[in-house]
Structures are given as C-alpha cells and as structure tokens.
Amino acid sequence: MNAQELDEKIAACFSELVIDKALVRQLKIREKRSIPSFVEEWLISRFQKPGKTDAEIYADITGFMSKHLPSKTEKESIKYRLHQGESVVLLDRFEVRIDIAKGKKLLWIPCLEERNATVSDEVLEKNQSLLEGGQWGAGRLFVNSDGKNNVIELVEFNPMQSGKVRLQQLIKAREQFTTREWIYFLLRTMGYEPDAYNEEQQNHLILRLLPLLQNNLNLMELAPKGTGKSFIYSNLSRYVWLNSGGALTQAQLFKNQNTKEIGLIGRYDLLVLDEGQSINFKGADDIHAKFKDYLESGHYSIGNDKITSECGLIILANIDLYDSQPRQSDYIRHLPEMFHDDALIDRFHGIIPGWKIPRFTTESAAQGLGIKADVFGEYLHQLRTVSHIEFPFGECPTLKGDSRDVKAVTRLACALSKLLLLNPGHSDYEDYVLNPAKDLRQRVRSQLMELNPHEFSGQINVWF
C-alpha cells in the first residue's frame, strides 16, 4: 500500500478524527512553546479552516498561545494582574487534589508553578477529569478570599475536548484493513512513516503502545540513544507521567505521608521512567520492596493504607551496542542496582528490543494522515476498561506452564489482541499476537538466567 492509498483509506474510515501529521510537523508550533503533541494537534484542528494558508494558521495559533499560554518568565506578571483584580484565561494542564484533613480543594497550575490555588465547586462538578490526573483546557482565574488569605481560584473551565471515538467505528474500520495495513495506520497515528521501517521494525515500534491500553502491564525498552523511546509517552496521552532521570522518592512514587497526596503510581495509567540507567532512587531499599509488591499484585501499602492501582510501569534505558546487538549479554546491568534483583525483574512482563529499531530521522516522521493524538490517547485509555460486549477483542488461549511466564504472555497477548483487533482463530493471530508476546517475555527470561542461572532456565515455560 502506497502513501496515497493509505491516506485515502484512513480518511474514508475516520474522516473528522484525522489530521495531517506532515502539516503538524511543518508548522513547528512546539518550537514556539513546549507543549505535548496532543495539545499541538488540538490547536491546529481548532484554527485550521478551508482556504487558510499555513502562515495564517501559524499566526493564529501563536497569537492564541502568546495570550493564553504564558512562558515561565511571565508567571509573576500574570500573578500581578490577578493581584490587581483582573481575571486571566490560561491554557494549561490543570489538576486538583483533595486535602481532606484541611477541607481544601488544591489546584495545580503548572505555568504559574502554583500548587495551592483552588477551584469552584461548580467547575469541579462539571469537570471530574481535573481529579483524574488533570485535564488540559482554558481556565479563567480570579483572586478570591478564603476568609483568611487571598487565593487564586479557577472559576471557569473549558476542557480541551477530544474527538469521540466510537469503538464500533474502529471495529468497522478494521474490516477495511489487512493486519499489515492496520499496523501502517497505527504507525502514522504514532507519528512514524511506515515506509521508513521494515516489517520487523514496524512490529517492534507498535509494542510501545501496549502499556497504554492494558492495565498493570510492566515493560522495559533498552536501546541506544536517538530511537525515540520516550516520544509517544510524552506526546500521546494525558494519562501518562514521564519522569526523565533524576532522583525519585517513595513519597513521589507511592504516597506522601505528610501531605497525604497519592503518588504517581496511584494517579496515572502509566509511569514512564526515562533515562532508566541514571535514575537515583532515594530510599532505594523501601522503594525496591514496594515495587516488588506492586508489580506482582497491583497494590501497595503505605502506613495503614493499602492502595490499589491499574498503573503500568515502563523503564526506558540506553545501552551500548556492538554490531547492532547489545554489547553484553546481561544488558540488564545498565539499570540501577535495584533492577539487578531477579525477583524484581521476574515481575516485568516483557522487554522491547529497542536495539532493533533504527535512529529516528527526518524520513522517519509521518508524511500523511493519522488519528489526532488526543483522540488516539483517549481511545487507548478507553480500551483499558472496556467490556468484552462492547469491544469483543483482547483474548488469549488458556496457557499452562510457569505461573509468571503464563501471566506475562497472557497479558501481553491480550494487549496485542486489542491493539490489532485479532482474536484466536484468526489466521494472523499466532504471527502478530501470540508469538510477539512470547518473544517479549523470552527476553525477560534470558536476563533472569544471566542474573541467576542456578534458578532460572533461559527459555520461557509456556504451552497450550
């Protein structure tokens, strides 16, 4: 299928849900201000009108951002305007947390670096997504008194609405594509141009989507620099938290005992630890124990609290290659010492072979139509909890063998089944779903043997 045929098929099946990924790249809105791709595409969709030139679209968007998306250097002037009694409309990712002990609704406004603002009851009642990891949108701010102090309050909010994906539309659209063509469509939507990659590379690229659509899926991707490991996680979904290296504490990850704020693992669909080889865990022993508990069971304990979450974990790390292969067989050693524990590694479901994915180049970027990033992010989020009646995909045959191998392969196969809309019985199921799931787990097995050859064999133990 050539690029034009792919564009025509995507447009016919998804119409208003698509955007020209090449236009998004050409406008370079994100060079003007650091925003996720899903916000960038939303802005382009809003200001793109028939007959408008690219220059006019760019001018409208950058004008809107200059007025409503302030830079960090403007935060004090914005606060001064609020202090003077003005109301100010900002485009940002607003998030609310509830402090029960103090009886407060605390609003986080990132562009103002303000964590102790508040929100009106009316706004919160209409926008529950503010409590669910936050929501991008246009918010009107005003300074009110809480009886003791002046406080910034969110008094109006218009969320950045994603186009609605009806799952039946996706099921119907899938009927028009072969499995390989569907992978082309997924790659375009992710921001890649299919023709820039061979089939094996395409198959590895789409594996990056799996933890976005499957609850409690834990993966690693180890690769050299420049392959675009973190791009989709920071740009495709508002339900993802990307941590790029640096120090992490137990309070940040699980729960802050002082503020009672739930940590990252309890608030998002997916926690991405980028630059995994350089992460510094403060209080590593306690974090290690809680990771083992959570990755096995989906819950963890802090004090007297037992917290359950569906958040997945993916670790992205750079490794050295020799002749296009990891330089050392125990490549897991590139990660912090915590991850040299076989009991912890055994709780990861798969390892994506990022060393088989080439560096991202200008030719790798999507050249045509794909689903808008915010729409696709919502679709993936929806698939995490959709009923089998509404979306009859996500199946895996009953497997036997080592319990962790079976659990991992089953969960991975279910995720691939939902992504590719393939169930057992389809002629492509084994090649595109079951075998890739086994391969992902096999790499975990190979590292377990490197870490502890006396206890672990190098082969997964799974059969029908």
| pLDDT per residue as tens digits for the range 297-317 | 999 998 888 999 999 999 999
What is the pLDDT, as a whole number, of residue 86? 94
CA 412 to CA 205: how far, in whole Å? 15
Average pLDDT over residues 431-460: 96
Which pLDDT does position 165 carry in this prediction?
A: 67
Q: Which CATH number belongs to the domain containing residue 152 in this structure?
A: 2.40.50
Last residue within a domain, chosen from 111, 137, 159: 159
**pLDDT exceeds cutoff 70 at 146:** yes
Q: Is the pLDDT of residue 12 over 70?
A: yes
Based on the fold, state whether residues 326 and 403 are members of the same structural domain. Answer: yes
User: Are 110 and 237 within one domain?
Assistant: no
Domain endpoint, select from 129, 159, 189:
159
The span from the CA of 412 to the CA of 209, in Å, is 11
**Strand pairing category for 280-282 and 247-249:** parallel
For position 76, what pLDDT does the model report?
A: 92
Q: What is the mean pLDDT of residues 22-46?
A: 87
Closest CA to 28 of 67, 57, 66: 57
| Same domain (yes/no): 321, 234 | yes
* 121 burial level (CB within 10 Å; 0-12, 13-18, 19+): exposed
Within a domain: residue 43?
Answer: no
Which has the minimum average pLDDT: 32-41, 383-392, 408-417? 32-41
Share of the chain above pLDDT 90, in %: 69
Say which residue, 98 or 416, is predicted with more confidence: 416
Does 456 fall in a domain? Answer: yes
The answer, yes or no, to whether residue 33 has pLDDT greater than 90, is: no
- Is 453 part of any domain? yes
Same domain, 142 and 287: no
Q: In 10 A of CB 32, how many CB atoms? A: 16
Q: What is the pLDDT of residues 217-243, one digit of tens each?
A: 999 999 988 888 888 898 888 899 999
- Domain-located, residue 322: yes
What pLDDT score was predicted for residue 162? 62
In this structure, the dihedral spanned by the alpha carbons of residues 146, 147, 150 and 155, taken in order and rounded to 10 degrees, is 30
pLDDT at residue 164 above 70?
no
Work out the average pLDDT over 44-48. 90
If asked whether residues 257 and 204 sit together in one domain, one would say: yes
Q: What is the mean pLDDT of residues 357-372?
A: 92
Same structural domain, 364 and 406: yes
What whole-number distance in Å separates Cα of residue 411 and Cα of residue 408? 5
Query: 176 and 127 share a domain?
Result: no
* pLDDT, average across residues 133-146: 89
Least confident of 47-56, 154-163, 280-289, 334-343: 154-163
Q: Is the pLDDT of residue 385 over 70?
A: yes
Q: Domain range spanning residue 114?
A: 72-159
User: HSE on the CB side for 61, CA within 13 Å?
Assistant: 27
Specify whether 365 is located in the same domain as 290: yes
Percentage of residues in the chain having pLDDT higher than 70: 99
Structural domain contains residue 93: yes
Residues 226 and 353 grouped into a single domain: yes
Rounded Cα distance, 449 and 456, in Å: 5
Domain assignment present for 24: no
- Boundary (domain end) residue, out of 104, 132, 159: 159
Both 154 and 198 in one domain: the answer is no
**Averaged confidence pLDDT in the chain:** 92
Long-range CB contacts (within 8 A, 24+) of 77-86:
78/111, 78/112, 79/112, 79/152, 82/141, 82/142, 82/143, 82/152, 83/143, 83/150, 85/143
Whole-prediction pTM = 0.90
Residue 224 is predicted with a pLDDT of 87
Give the best-scoring range by mean pLDDT among 61-70, 78-87, 256-265. 78-87
In this structure, the answer to whether residues 191 and 126 fall within a common structural domain is: no
Q: Residue 360 falls within a domain, yes or no?
A: yes
CATH number at residue 415: 3.40.50.300
pLDDT-derived band of residue 163, with 50, 70 and 90 as boundaries? Answer: low
Q: Per residue, what are the HEC states of the chain?
A: CCHHHHHHHHHHHHHHHEEEHHHHHHHCHHHHCCCCHHHHHHHHHHHCCCCCCHHHHHHHHHHHHHHHCCCHHHHHHHHHHHHCCCCEEEEEEEEEEEECCCCEEEEEEHHHCEEEEEECHHHHHHCHHHHCCCEEEEEEEEEEECCCCEEEEEEEEEECCCCCCCHHHHHHHHCCCCHHHHHHHHHHHHCECHHHCCHHHHHHHHHHHHHHHCCCCEEEEEECCCCCCCHHHHHCCCCEEEEECCEEEHHHHCECCCCCCECHHHCCCEEEEECHHHCEEECHHHHHHHHHHHHHHCEEEECCEEEECCCEEEEEEECCEECCEECCCCHHHHCCHHHHCHHHHCCCCEEEEHHHCCCCCHHHECCCEEECHHHHHHHHHHHCCCCCCCCCCCCCCCCEECHHHHHHHHHHHHHHHHHHCCCCCCCCHHHHHHHHHHHHHHHHHHHHHHHCCCCCCCCCCEEC
45 belongs to a structural domain:
no
Q: What is the pLDDT of residue 101?
A: 79
Across 112-121, 234-243, 254-263, 416-425, which has the greatest mean pLDDT? 416-425
Q: What total of structural domains would you count in the chain?
A: 2
Confidence of residue 417 (pLDDT cuts 50, 70, 90): very high
Same domain, 214 and 291: yes
129: its two tokens:
């997504």
Residue reference for tokens 């409208």: 60
